[in-house]
Amino acid sequence: MAGARPQAGGTDDKFERLQAEDTVVSLNRLCATCVRFTETSKLLQKFSRQEKIKHLEEEVLELCSAERLKAGYLDGCHLCALFWERADGQHLLRSDPKADSRPLEVSLTATARDASGEGDPMNRLPFIAATGSLKIKFTNTGRMRHRPDPRTLEAYLETNPSLNQNVRGKLKEPISSKSDVKLCFSSMVAPSQQLPSRLLDLGDNKLRLECDVQSILNLRYATLSHVWGNDPASYLQLKEATLEAFKTEVPWDALPIKYKDAIRITRALRIRYLWIDSMCIIQDSPNDWKTEALKMAPVYGCSACNMSYMHAPSEEPAKRYLRDPRVHIPCKLTAASACPSRLSAFGVDYLWSKPVPPAAVVVQPFAGAMHGSWSTEGYRRVCSLLSRAWVFQERLLCSRTIYYGHDRLLWDCCETFNDEFSGPMPYVPRSKAHIYSALSGLTQNQTHASSLGHFDGRWKSMVNDYRSSKLTFEKDRAIAFAGIARVVQSQTGMAYLAGIWKEAAHLDLLWCVMPKGRKSSLRLPGPGTQEPLKAPSWSWFSVPCQLSSDYDMVDYRLSTIAAVRSEETVYHATILSFEHPKLPAELEALFSDFDGLEIRLRTYKITAGLRWENDVVQLMPHGQPMLPKKSDIFPAYDLRTPMM
C-alpha cells in the first residue's frame, strides 16, 4: 500500500487506507444494525419469500445515524459499506452538523420489470421477486453531488448461488488439473514447445533473470500483458548493460506497481516463473527483439496463465491503495425464514402444505441483473489495455487470462468467461471459446467448405477488431498479428499471405476500405506521420490505420455475398503461386515482412473502369458499379458474370 496512512477518526477516512496490505475482507458480513434492518423490513421478507408484491409498494425505515453507519463501514460490514458509499458519507458528515446524531431514513420501493427484464412495465399487477427488484435509497440525506441518482441500491433475488466464488475458485485450483487444458490453444499455438529465451525467476525470496530456460524441468510460467504508456523509458528494462546484473538480482524497488502486482498473483498461483516483455527481451537489441517478437505465439500459447493489467500508466491513480471489494461486489442477505404458500381460488386463500423455500436477496450498487454479456469492444472505453494491438494477439493466444487492475477480476479461458461479481457470462462475442470453435473444425488439408466458411467469418471479425487497435509504432502492424496467423497456418496448413489465405483468396481478396458518410474520404498519412507498413496493394495491411471506425473497417460485403451465393458462381480466381525476395532462406518473413510479396492469379480479365465521384473511387466492371448500395443486400447485377 502506497503513501502514509491517515489518522483514524478524520472525516477523510477510507476503509482501504486504514488496512494492512494483507487484509482479507469478509464479504456478506453484516453488523447488528444491518441484521436488524433486514429482519425488520417487511418488503425484504416478502421479496425473499417470493410473495406477491404490488408495483411501487413502498416502505420507509430508520437505519442509524451517519456516525454509526461510518463505524459499521470501518468495522467491516458489507451492507454498511454499500450504504456509506451511496450516501456519500464523508460529504454528509462535513455538510450537515446534525448528521452524526440524526437517524438516516431508508426507503424501499418494489419495482416490476417488463418482459425484456428491464424498465417499468405497462402492466402494474402484483409481481413476485423473480420478475422485479427493490430500489433502496436514503430519503433524508439531502442533495448529493455530481451523481444523477447516487442514493439508490438495487436488490434482486440471488440467481447464482456461486456468486463471487467463480474466479476465486478457479484461481485456487491447481491450473494443471483444469478441464480446459485439452481445449486450450497450446497444441495449435506451439506444437513444438518453443520457449522464451528468458524468464523472471520469482523463487528464493528474490527476483532474478533466468536465461537457461531450456534446462528447467516441468516448466510452468505466467505472462503479463500491459500498456507501456507514453514514456517507455521510465520503466525498468532489460538492456545489454543490465543483462549480467539481472541474472543475479532484479531490483524490486525499481519495478512499477503493476509488475509487483503480477508477481504477487503469480506467486499466489504457485507458479515460479513470469515472462514480461520489457524484462525478458533485450530492449536495445533489434536482433533480439525481432527474434523474440516472432515467438509471441508459443510464448503466450505455452503460458500457464496470462495476466492482463487493464489500465495504462496515465490512468493509474496518483496514490494507490487497496481495493475495498465491498463497494463493488453485491452483498448477499440471509434468506428469510420459510412460511406456507397460499393458493387463491374463488376469493378464498388456501394454505399449501409445502412452503416455498425462501431465496437470498442480493443488494448491489447498480441496476440490472449481474449476468449477461461481456465484450472487449464495450470495455475499450474504460480499459485502454483492450485497445492495444499487441494485447489483441496476446489475449487470443494464451489459454487462460486473468484481467486485473480494474474494479473486478475477470477470467477468460477456452471453456468459459467468468466475472468476479456475477460468475459465468453466457454471451461473450469473439472470446477464446468462439475463436477455438472456428479453428477446431479446420485440420491439416481438410479445409471443407462448411468449416472454411465458419472460419472465414471469424477471421474477418478479427481483422476489423485488429485494425481498430492501437500501436506505438505503426510499422509493427504486421508482426503484432503474426502469432495469430501462425496458429491458423499451423492448424490448417493454409498459406498466410499478408492478411489473406491462399486457399480462400477468392473470398479474402474481395475487400475494400470505404469511409462512412457521403463527404468522407480515405485519409492518407501526411507529413511528419509515422512510416506506414510496406505491404502489397491487394492486402488490407496496405491501407493505413486511422484509429477511427469511420475509416478502419474493412468492407467484406462482396465477399459475404459471394460466399452466400457460391452455388451461383461459375468461376472464381485462384492463386497459382507467390514470391517473396527473402524466400526460401527466411520462411518467417511471410508472417511479418510483406515488402516485395507478389501473387500470381488465374482469373478472367474483365473490361472495367474507375469512376471518381465525391472523393470516392469506384470500380466499374462492365460499366456497372461493383459495390451494391447500402440498402441492397443482394445487388442487381448478375453474380454469374465472370467478375471474380
Query: Looking at the DSSP assignment, which residues form a beta bridge with residue 608?
Result: 621
> Tell me: the pLDDT tens digits for 395-445?
888 888 898 877 677 888 877 788 776 667 777 777 777 777 666 666 655
- Percentage with pLDDT > 90 across the chain: 25
The C-alpha atoms of residue 560 and residue 177 are separated, in whole angstroms, by 41
Position 276 scores a pLDDT of 96
Query: Looking at the DSSP assignment, which residues form a beta bridge with residue 412?
Result: 401, 417
The three cell numbers locating residue 445: 488439408
Of 376 and 346, the one with more pLDDT: 376
Of 365 and 220, the one with more pLDDT: 220
Rg (CA), the chain: 29
pTM of the entire predicted model:
0.69
| Alpha helices (runs of H) in 441-556, residue ranges in sequence order | 449-467, 482-492, 505-508, 549-552
For the segment 619-629, the average pLDDT, to the nearest whole number, is: 67
| Alpha helices (runs of H) in 10-65, residue ranges in sequence order | 32-40, 42-48
Of 613 and 11, the one with more pLDDT: 613
282 — pLDDT class (breaks 50, 70, 90): very high
The three cell numbers locating residue 245: 546484473
CA atoms within 13 A on the CB side of 271: 27
Most confident by average pLDDT, 31-45, 301-315, 357-371:
31-45
> Tell me: the pLDDT tens digits for 502-531?
988 888 998 888 665 554 454 554 444 567
> Tell me: the pLDDT tens digits for 540-554?
999 887 656 556 688
- Residue 613: partners with Cβ closer than 8 Å, 6 or more residues away: none
186 — pLDDT class (breaks 50, 70, 90): low
The residue with cell 506467486 is 267
Of 13 and 30, the one with more pLDDT: 30
User: Position 615: which residue type?
Assistant: D
Residue 237 gets which letter from DSSP? -
Question: Where would I find the beta strands (DSSP E) of 313-449?
Answer: 331-333, 342-345, 348-351, 361-364, 400-404, 410-413, 417-419, 423-424
Which of 393, 436, 398, 400 has the alpha carbon at shortest distance from 418?
Answer: 400
The C-alpha atoms of residue 208 and residue 231 are separated, in whole angstroms, by 24
The three cell numbers locating residue 571: 468461376
Which of 363, 357, 371 has the alpha carbon at shortest distance from 44?
Answer: 363
150 — pLDDT class (breaks 50, 70, 90): low
Whether residue 155 is predicted with pLDDT greater than 70 in this model: the reply is yes
User: Position 37: which residue type?
Assistant: F
- Residue 450: partners with Cβ closer than 8 Å, 6 or more residues away: 441
For the segment 184-213, the average pLDDT, to the nearest whole number, is: 82
- Percentage with pLDDT > 70 across the chain: 68
Of 247 and 91, the one with more pLDDT: 247
> Tell me: the pLDDT tens digits for 550-608?
566 888 888 888 777 777 766 778 899 999 999 988 888 999 999 999 999 998 877 88
